[in-house]
């Protein structure tokens, strides 16, 4: 089909239905076919249709941090593999960018990733927060106001999503060591009035780590109150109402190897243990919050045995989550060759090892590397964390990334910039067509 000239012979609805079944990277290419196709594939009807199709084929999203460079891959989560103990799956590369040589943390919510301590050199040394849609290659910068920049070095920040109002929010928790109090600030992305707002919390605490998870509009993380008593709490922050709730824990979780998970819509806490040699069999301990009001937990123990003796494990696995089907997912903590992902089904007591093809990153003991993975990732063409009615300010080129940069007003409160490589590529293609 040449620039949409023959679309009259094929119903538009049929074209959109076919294209909605393709990955986001293919949609990016088709948007550049012509102005007609670019407009057609940006219609709300198509983006909603694409999201519906994508929700039916969830992916495992893998992010590799390697000496300041981030690379994003995804692979289809296996289904209907009963009777098999191993599979080979191809990884789909999405994007990479190089911004900071320091180790960075990240927070995931509803398809977006937030980097709370990434340093952008062009910002004059300020710690610039970055929000990224790895499926489309879009990202935005967030700059803290002056009064929070220095304090933010002792803060933690998390990305949350409100599924009712379809809003993303950033929660900043700042512990003051002088008065032993915890301050909280919130930023609503895509709001008409942009700025950080201070919110109240009835309890001061110190976080265990940056581990958090957002489930059905509630952010969960573990903390220790600053009140002289020795017990831990589960902090529950409702993203929509911006209210805090706390559950006093009657038992202690191992902090270093504990992972918060979404277990069939409920909060779960899971811990991984190895055999004496650091390999199989693995021991999984899982606690599930069955009733929030009654603070009732269920506890489960599982033993994972590998039928495939080719797979070598040596203290190098991490639990990354649980799929909607209830399968516990584990990945290697380093980008080995070959790279493996494991799916454990507690109901069937089966362990599936998946060998990943196309996972190409530099390897070696000398390379600093961290692996992050997120289950049930759904590709979304939308990036509605900003108001796109603002005019483009400039064009950003970074390696193979090309994008249009947008600025928010009120830079004294919060500055966001958006880079959209899809739109810029289409604009460049259209300009080339006009020249010819």
The predicted-structure confidence for 71-110, as pLDDT tens digits, reads as follows 899 999 988 777 788 888 888 888 887 665 555 678 999 9
Question: What does the pLDDT look like over 316-361, one tens digit per residue?
Answer: 889 999 999 999 999 988 877 788 999 999 988 888 999 988 776 6
Question: What does the pLDDT look like over 81-92, one tens digit per residue?
Answer: 777 888 888 888
Q: pLDDT class for 236, splitting at 50, 70, 90?
A: very high
> pLDDT value at position 387?
43
Closest CA to 270 of 256, 260, 278, 283: 260
Q: pLDDT class for 186, splitting at 50, 70, 90?
A: very high
Mean pLDDT of the chain: 78
Whether omega before 404 lies within 30 degrees of 0, making that bond cis, reads no
Question: 331 is written with which tokens?
Answer: 């990945």
Query: Which position has the higher pLDDT, 218 or 178?
Result: 218
Q: pLDDT class for 174, splitting at 50, 70, 90?
A: confident
Closest CA to 49 of 74, 13, 75: 13
- Mean pLDDT over 268-284 rounds to 86
Answer yes or no: are the C-beta atoms of 46 and 20 closer than 8 Å: yes
CA–CA distances in Å: residue 413 to residues 120, 147, 148, 279, 410:
18, 10, 10, 50, 6
C-alpha 360/C-alpha 337 separation (Å) is: 9
- Mean pLDDT over 273-287 rounds to 85
- Mean pLDDT over 146-165 rounds to 78
- Mean pLDDT over 198-222 rounds to 90
The two counts, helices (H) then strands (E), for the chain are 6, 29
CA–CA distances in Å: residue 322 to residues 57, 60, 248, 316:
15, 11, 24, 19
With residues binned 3-state (H G I as helix, E B as strand, rest as coil), the percentages for the chain, rounded to 5, are: 15, 45, 40
Question: What does the pLDDT look like over 397-416, one tens digit per residue?
Answer: 232 222 323 332 222 223 34
Three-class SS state of 205? strand
Query: What does pTM read for this prediction?
Result: 0.82
C-alpha 176/C-alpha 156 separation (Å) is: 12
Q: pLDDT class for 432, splitting at 50, 70, 90?
A: very low
Token pair 């519906």 is found at 52
Question: What does the pLDDT look like over 30-48, one tens digit per residue?
Answer: 888 888 888 999 999 999 9
């Amino acid at each position: 089909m040449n620039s949409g000239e023959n679309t009259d012979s094929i119903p538009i609805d049929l074209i959109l239905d076919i294209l909605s079944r393709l990955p986001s990277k293919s949609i990016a290419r088709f948007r550049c076919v012509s102005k007609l196709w670019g407009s057609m594939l940006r219609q709300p009807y198509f983006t909603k249709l694409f999201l519906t199709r994508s929700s039916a084929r969830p992916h495992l999203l893998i992010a590799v941090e390697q000496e300041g460079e981030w690379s994003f891959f995804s692979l289809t989560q296996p289904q209907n593999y009963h009777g098999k103990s191993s599979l080979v799956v191809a990884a789909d590369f999405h994007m990479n960018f190089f911004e900071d040589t320091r180790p960075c943390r990240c927070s995931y919510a509803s398809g977006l990733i937030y980097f709370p301590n990434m340093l952008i050199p062009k910002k004059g040394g300020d710690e610039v927060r970055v929000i990224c849609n790895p499926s489309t290659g879009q990202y935005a910068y967030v700059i803290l106001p002056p009064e929070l920049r220095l304090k933010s070095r002792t803060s933690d920040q998390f990305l949350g999503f409100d599924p009712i109002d379809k809003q993303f929010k950033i929660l900043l928790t700042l512990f003051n060591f002088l008065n032993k109090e915890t301050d909280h600030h919130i930023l609503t992305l895509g709001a008409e009035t942009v700025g950080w707002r201070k919110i109240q919390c009835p309890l001061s605490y110190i976080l265990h780590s940056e581990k958090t998870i957002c489930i059905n509009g509630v952010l969960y993380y573990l903390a220790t109150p600053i009140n002289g008593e020795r017990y831990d709490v589960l902090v529950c922050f409702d993203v929509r109402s911006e209210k805090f709730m706390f559950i006093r824990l009657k038992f202690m979780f191992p902090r270093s190897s504990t992972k918060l998970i979404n277990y069939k819509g409920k909060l779960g806490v899971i811990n991984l243990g190895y055999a004496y040699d650091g390999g199989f069999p693995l021991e999984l301990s899982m606690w599930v919050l069955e009733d929030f009001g009654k603070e009732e937990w269920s506890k489960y123990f599982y033993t994972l045995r590998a039928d495939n003796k080719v797979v070598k494990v040596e203290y190098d696995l991490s639990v990354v989550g649980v799929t909607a089907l209830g399968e516990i997912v584990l990945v290697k903590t380093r980008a080995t060759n070959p790279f493996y992902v494991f799916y454990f089904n507690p109901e069937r007591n089966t362990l599936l090892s998946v060998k990943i093809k196309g996972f190409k990153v530099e390897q070696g003991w000398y390379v600093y590397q961290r692996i992050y993975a997120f289950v049930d990732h759904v590709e979304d063409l939308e990036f509605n964390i900003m108001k796109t009615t603002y005019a483009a300010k400039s064009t950003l080129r970074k390696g193979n990334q090309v994008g249009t940069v947008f600025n928010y007003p009120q830079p004294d409160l919060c500055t966001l910039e958006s880079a959209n490589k899809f739109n810029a590529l289409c604009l460049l293609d259209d300009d080339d067509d006009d020249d010819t």
